[in-house]
C-alpha cells in the first residue's frame, strides 16, 4: 500500500457531510438503486425481452390457421389488430406479469442478504426507511417500465401485422378503429394496479424470506393459486378479492354500455393488497436484526 | 483528552433466545485511542460491533457513540463513525469505483470528492474500474477500508481486518491501520489475534463467551503475562533436565518428546550456555508461545480459578474504566 497520507481534516472539531452535513434524501437512495438495476444484465435482458417477445408472439399468432377460439378475443385474432393485444393481455396476466415484476421486486431486498451488503449500506448515513422506500420505488418503476414496453411492443406489432380493422366488442357491437385504440391502451393501463400488487407481494417475500429464488418464484405461484381459486365455483366473494381478478377489470370497457364497477373494484382490491404487503414488509425490515453477511 | 468518549457502552446485553451473545458488557473508548477488542470466535465481539453500528438492537444497557445513541439520534448516531463488520461486502457486478460512488451518495454526496484519495491510500488505483467480483479477498478488504475512509471518520471500526489475508496482506493491513491511527483517528479494532492487537493497540478488552474477562492497557496485560515457553531438543534430554534442577527463574519439564522450558529470555540463554558447557548439544530451540498469547489463552480458555491472582481479583482489570 502506498504511504500517501489522507488529506482530509481530522481535527476533533472538523465537520464533513458524512459527519454532520446534509443527509442523503430518498432521491439519492433511489438513484443508487436504479444504478444498480441498470448494471445488472438480468434487468436489461428482461426489458429487451419485453420489447422483442411480444412482437414475435404477434407474428406467430397471426400465422396460426386455427385461432384459439376458447380464449377471450381468440376468435377475432385475424379480424382486427386491436383483438391481438387483448388476447395477449389475458395471457400475460396469468403468470407473465407476476414473473416479470418479481424478477426485480423479488430480488431487490433478498439480494442484499445474499451479497451480505445490508451492513455495507446500513452503516452509511441512510436510514432503513429510506432504503426500503427507495428499493420499493425502484421495483415499482421497473414494473411500470415492463408494462409500458410490453404493451407498446404488443400493440404496435399487432397493428402493423394484422391491421387497424374495427374491433368486435364483448357484446357483439362494432367498435371503430379510432375508439378501439384508446380502449386497448386503457385496458393495458388497468393491468398496472394488480401488477403493482404483485410487485408488493414480491417485495414482501423478498424481505421476509431473504431468498431471491422464493422472492421471484413465489408471486408466480401465488398468482396461479389465485387463478385456481378464482375458477372454483361457489367462491364468488373470494374471487372478487383476488389480485388476479383485477387483471380482468378492463372487460367493462368493451361492452355496448360501458361499466366501470370492475375498474373501481380492481383498483381498490389492488390497493389493499399493495398496502398490506408493503406495510408488512416495512415493519419486518425495520424490526429485524442484521446478523448475516 | 476530549471529555466525550468515542464509545461508551454500559451493561450492554444481547440475547438470541436462550443464548446470551453479549452479557452486560461495559467499555469506554477515548477519542484518539487505538483500542482492541480481543476474543476467540464466538466471544461476542462482532455482535457488540453490530450493536454499535445499529444493525442489531441491544436487549439491555446503553451504547453511546460520541455521546449519541441509536434510540435518540437514529442514523445521526453514526456521524463520524465508519468501518466494517467481518469481511466487507460489495456489489460484485459493479466496479470498485462505482461501489464507492454509490456509498458516497448514501453519505450525502460530499464524500465523492475523496474517492481518488482513499483509493490511493489503500493502493487500489488502477484496479478501481474492475468489477469487484474479480477482486481478491485482500483487495476487498482494502476496498472496505477505502469505503470506511470515504466518510472521513473520527472513529474507525475494523472487525478482524487481517482475517483471511496472506502474510503480505496482513503486513500491509497492519501498516495501514497504524498509519491511520497515527493520523489521529480513534480506531476500534476487533481481532482474535493477540499479536495483532499487541502490535497496534494501546488498550484492550478481552472477551470470552459474551463477557469481559480483561480490560486495561496492553502494558498492564504484558506485566501479567507468564514467561515465554520454549521447546528444547538436545543430544541428552535427561542430562539437560538434571542440569535445570535448582536454577532460579526457570521451569523445565519433559513434554511431548522434548523439554518445555519456561522462563525469562535471559535465564533461558544462560541455561543453554550451561548445557553447551557440559557437552550437551542443543539441537533446536523454538518459541512455543509468546507471553501475551499464553495469557490470552489462559483468559479465554481456562477456568477462572486457574487465572493469575492479579487478574482474577483486580476489579479494574475485568470491568469498564471509571
Round to whole Å and give the CA distance between A148 and A47.
Answer: 10
| B206 interfaces chain A, CB cutoff of 8 Å | no
How open is the CA angle B56-B59-B61, to the nearest 5 degrees?
105
Indicate yes or no: CB of A12 within 8 angstroms of CB of B154. yes
DSSP code, position B114: G
Of B55, B86, B98, the CB nearest to A122: B55
* pLDDT for position B247: 81
As beta bridge partners, residue B230 has B261, B287
Q: What residues 31-70 of chain B have any CB closer than 8 A to a CB of chain A?
A: 31, 50, 53-57
3-state secondary structure A120-172: HHHCCCCCHHHHHHHHHHHHHHHHHHHHHHHHHHHHHHHHHHCCCCCEECCCC
CA distance B162 to chain A (A): 14
Laid out side by side, the sheet with B203-208 consists of B81-84, B155-159, B186-191, B34-38, B203-208, B211-217
Contacts of B309 (CB under 8 A, 6+ apart): none
For residues A211 and A285, the answer to whether their CB atoms sit within 8 Å is: no
Round to whole Å and give the CA distance between A182 and B306.
Answer: 86
Instruction: Find, in chain A, the residue whose alpha carbon is nearest to that of B102.
Output: A32
In this prediction, residues B243-269 reach a mean pLDDT of 84
Indicate yes or no: CB of B154 within 8 angstroms of CB of A293. no
Distance in Å from the first CA to the final CA of chain A = 26
Kindly write down the DSSP assignment for every residue of A228-281, as one continuous string: HHHHSTT-HHHHHH-TGGGGGGGGGGGSSS---HHHHHHHHHHHHHHHHHHHHH
Helix (H) or strand (E) holding B103: helix B96-106
Residue B82 φ/ψ, nearest 5 degrees: -155, 165
Contacts of B285 (CB under 8 A, 6+ apart): B230, B231, B232, B233, B261, B268, B272
For residues A167 and A175, the answer to whether their CB atoms sit within 8 Å is: yes
Round to whole Å and give the CA distance between B244 and B235.
Answer: 15
Instruction: Find, in chain B, the residue whose alpha carbon is nearest to that of A12.
Output: B154
Q: What residues 126-145 of chain B have any CB closer than 8 A to a CB of chain A?
A: 142
Indicate yes or no: CB of A18 within 8 angstroms of CB of B107. yes
CA distance A283 to chain B (A): 15
Find, among B295, B18, B38, the residue nearest to B159 by Cα. B38
Is residue B14 predicted with pLDDT exceeding 90? yes
Q: At what angle do helices B96-106 and A26-39 cross, to 10 degrees?
A: 160
Q: Tell which of B4, B88, B106, B120 to mutate to test the A interface (max A CBs under 10 Å).
A: B106
* pLDDT for position B303: 58
| A71 interfaces chain B, CB cutoff of 8 Å | no
Of A35, A116, A289, the CB nearest to B56: A289
Indicate yes or no: CB of B121 within 8 angstroms of CB of A1. yes
In this prediction, residues B51-72 reach a mean pLDDT of 93
Q: Across chain B, where does the E strand assignment appear?
A: 7-16, 19-29, 34-38, 60-65, 81-84, 155-159, 186-191, 203-208, 211-217, 229-234, 250-255, 258-263, 282-289
* pLDDT for position B87: 87
In this prediction, residues B154-162 reach a mean pLDDT of 91
CA distance B302 to chain A (A): 29
Laid out side by side, the sheet with B258-263 consists of B250-255, B258-263, B229-234, B282-289
For residues B33 and B2, the answer to whether their CB atoms sit within 8 Å is: no
Is residue B249 predicted with pLDDT exceeding 90? no
CA distance B316 to chain A (A): 29
Round to whole Å and give the CA distance between B143 and B88.
Answer: 8
Buried b (16+ CB within 10 A) or exposed e, A208-236: bbbbbebbbbbbbebbeebbeebeeeeee
Which is more confidently placed, B280 or B218?
B280
CA dihedral B227, B233, B235, B241 (to 10 degrees): 40
| B2 interfaces chain A, CB cutoff of 8 Å | yes
- Binned at pLDDT 50, 70 and 90, residue B246 comes out as confident
Report the predicted TM-score, pTM, of the whole model to 2 decimal places.
0.83
Q: Tell which of A9, A17, A18, A289 to mutate to test the B interface (max B CBs under 10 Å).
A: A18
Find, among B285, B271, B234, B301, the residue nearest to B41 by Cα. B301
DSSP code, position B16: E
* pLDDT for position B40: 87
Find, among B153, B95, B126, B105, the residue nearest to A6 by Cα. B153
Residues B115-133: pLDDT tens digits?
999 999 888 999 999 999 9
Residues B196-210: pLDDT tens digits?
888 889 899 999 989
Q: At what angle do helices B137-149 and B96-106 cross, to 10 degrees?
A: 30
For residues A110 and A209, the answer to whether their CB atoms sit within 8 Å is: yes
Which is more confidently placed, B287 or A44?
A44
Q: pLDDT truncated to tens, each residue of chain A (293 aa)?
A: 444 444 443 433 344 445 545 678 899 999 999 999 999 999 999 999 999 999 999 999 999 888 888 889 988 989 999 999 999 999 999 899 999 999 999 999 999 999 999 999 999 989 999 999 999 999 999 999 999 999 999 999 999 999 999 999 999 999 999 999 999 999 999 999 999 999 999 999 999 999 999 999 999 999 999 999 998 888 889 999 999 999 999 999 999 888 899 999 999 999 999 999 999 999 999 999 888 75
Find, among A239, A256, A257, the residue nearest to A248 by Cα. A239
Indicate yes or no: CB of A1 within 8 angstroms of CB of B94. no
The torsion region of residue B225 among left (phi > 0), alpha (psi -120 to 50) and beta comes to beta
CA distance B154 to chain A (A): 7
The torsion region of residue A68 among left (phi > 0), alpha (psi -120 to 50) and beta comes to beta
* pLDDT for position B194: 83
In this prediction, residues B11-26 reach a mean pLDDT of 93
In this prediction, residues B12-28 reach a mean pLDDT of 93
Residues of chain B contacting residue A11, judged by C-beta atoms under 8 Å apart: 184
Of B80, B109, B142, the CB nearest to A24: B109
Residues of chain A contacting residue B54, judged by C-beta atoms under 8 Å apart: 122
For residues A105 and A37, the answer to whether their CB atoms sit within 8 Å is: no
Helix (H) or strand (E) holding A175: strand A174-175
Indicate yes or no: CB of A36 within 8 angstroms of CB of B94. yes
Find, among B319, B238, B152, the residue nearest to A8 by Cα. B152
Residues B94-106: pLDDT tens digits?
999 999 999 999 9
- CA distances (Å), B260 to each of A19, B229, B265, B309, in order? 54, 7, 14, 23
For residues A219 and A201, the answer to whether their CB atoms sit within 8 Å is: yes
Amino acid at each position: 500500500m502506498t504511504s500517501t497520507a489522507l488529506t482530509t481534516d481530522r481535527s476533533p472539531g472538523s465537520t464533513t457531510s458524512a459527519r454532520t452535513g446534509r443527509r442523503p434524501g430518498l432521491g439519492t437512495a433511489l438513484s443508487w438503486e436504479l444504478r444498480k438495476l441498470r448494471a445488472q444484465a438480468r434487468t436489461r435482458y428482461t426489458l429487451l425481452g419485453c420489447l422483442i417477445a411480444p412482437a414475435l408472439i404477434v407474428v406467430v399468432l397471426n400465422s396460426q390457421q386455427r385461432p384459439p377460439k376458447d380464449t377471450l378475443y381468440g376468435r377475432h385474432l385475424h379480424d382486427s389488430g386491436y383483438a391481438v393485444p387483448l388476447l395477449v393481455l389475458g395471457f400475460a396476466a396469468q403468470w407473465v406479469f407476476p414473473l416479470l415484476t418479481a424478477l426485480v421486486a423479488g430480488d431487490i431486498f433478498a439480494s442484499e442478504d445474499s451479497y451480505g451488503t445490508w451492513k455495507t449500506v446500513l452503516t452509511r448515513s441512510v436510514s432503513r426507511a429510506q432504503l426500503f422506500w427507495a428499493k420499493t420505488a425502484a421495483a415499482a418503476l421497473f414494473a411500470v417500465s415492463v408494462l409500458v414496453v410490453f404493451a407498446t411492443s404488443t400493440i404496435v406489432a399487432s397493428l402493423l401485422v394484422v391491421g387497424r380493422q374495427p374491433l368486435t366488442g364483448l357484446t357483439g357491437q362494432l367498435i371503430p378503429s379510432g375508439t378501439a385504440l384508446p380502449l386497448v391502451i386503457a385496458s393495458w393501463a388497468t393491468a398496472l394496479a394488480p401488477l403493482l400488487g404483485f410487485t408488493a407481494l414480491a417485495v414482501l417475500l423478498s424481505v421476509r424470506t431473504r431468498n431471491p429464488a422464493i422472492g421471484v418464484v413465489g408471486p408466480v405461484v401465488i398468482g396461479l393459486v389465485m387463478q385456481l381459486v378464482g375458477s372454483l365455483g361457489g367462491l364468488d366473494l373470494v374471487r372478487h378479492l383476488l389480485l388476479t381478478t383485477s387483471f380482468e377489470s378492463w372487460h367493462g370497457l368493451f361492452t355496448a354500455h360501458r361499466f366501470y364497477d370492475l375498474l373501481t373494484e380492481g383498483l381498490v382490491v389492488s390497493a389493499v393488497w399493495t398496502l398490506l404487503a408493503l406495510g408488512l414488509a416495512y415493519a419486518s425490515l425495520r424490526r429485524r436484526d442484521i446478523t448475516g453477511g | 483528552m476530549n471529555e466525550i468518549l468515542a464509545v461508551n457502552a454500559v451493561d450492554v446485553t444481547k440475547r438470541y433466545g436462550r443464548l446470551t451473545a453479549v452479557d452486560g458488557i461495559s467499555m469506554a473508548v477515548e477519542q484518539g485511542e487505538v483500542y482492541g477488542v480481543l476474543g476467540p470466535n464466538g466471544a461476542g465481539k462482532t455482535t457488540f460491533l453490530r450493536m454499535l453500528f445499529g444493525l442489531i438492537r441491544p436487549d439491555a444497557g446503553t451504547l453511546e457513540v460520541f455521546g449519541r445513541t441509536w434510540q435518540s439520534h437514529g442514523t445521526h448516531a453514526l456521524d463520524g463513525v465508519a468501518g466494517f463488520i467481518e469481511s466487507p461486502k460489495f456489489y460484485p457486478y459493479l466496479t470498485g469505483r462505482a461501489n464507492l460512488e454509490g456509498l458516497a451518495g448514501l453519505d450525502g454526496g460530499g464524500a465523492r470528492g475523496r474517492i481518488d484519495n482513499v483509493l490511493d491510500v489503500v493502493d487500489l488505483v488502477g484496479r478501481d474500474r474492475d468489477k469487484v467480483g474479480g477482486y481478491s479477498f485482500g483487495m476487498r478488504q482494502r476496498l472496505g477500508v477505502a469505503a470506511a475512509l470515504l466518510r472521513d471518520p473520527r472513529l474507525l471500526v475494523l472487525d478482524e481486518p487481517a482475517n483471511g489475508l496472506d502474510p503480505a496482506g496482513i503486513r500491509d493491513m497492519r501498516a495501514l491501520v497504524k498509519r491511520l491511527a497515527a493520523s489521529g483517528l480513534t480506531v476500534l479494532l476487533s481481532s482474535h489475534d493477540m499479536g495483532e492487537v499487541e502490535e497496534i493497540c494501546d488498550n484492550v478488552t478481552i472477551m470470552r463467551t459474551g463477557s469481559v474477562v480483561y480490560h486495561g492497557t496492553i502494558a498492564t496485560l504484558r506485566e501479567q503475562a507468564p514467561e515465554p515457553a520454549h521447546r528444547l531438543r538436545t543430544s541428552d534430554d535427561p542430562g539437560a533436565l538434571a542440569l535445570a534442577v535448582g536454577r532460579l527463574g526457570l521451569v523445565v519439564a519433559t513434554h511431548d518428546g522434548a523439554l518445555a522450558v519456561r522462563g525469562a529470555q535471559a535465564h533461558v540463554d544462560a541455561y543453554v550456555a550451561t548445557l553447551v558447557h557440559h557437552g550437551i548439544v542443543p539441537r533446536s530451540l523454538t518459541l512455543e508461545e509468546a507471553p501475551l498469547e499464553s495469557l490470552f489463552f489462559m483468559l479465554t480458555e481456562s477456568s477462572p480459578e486457574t487465572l493469575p491472582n492479579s487478574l482474577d481479583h483486580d476489579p479494574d482489570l475485568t470491568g469498564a474504566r471509571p
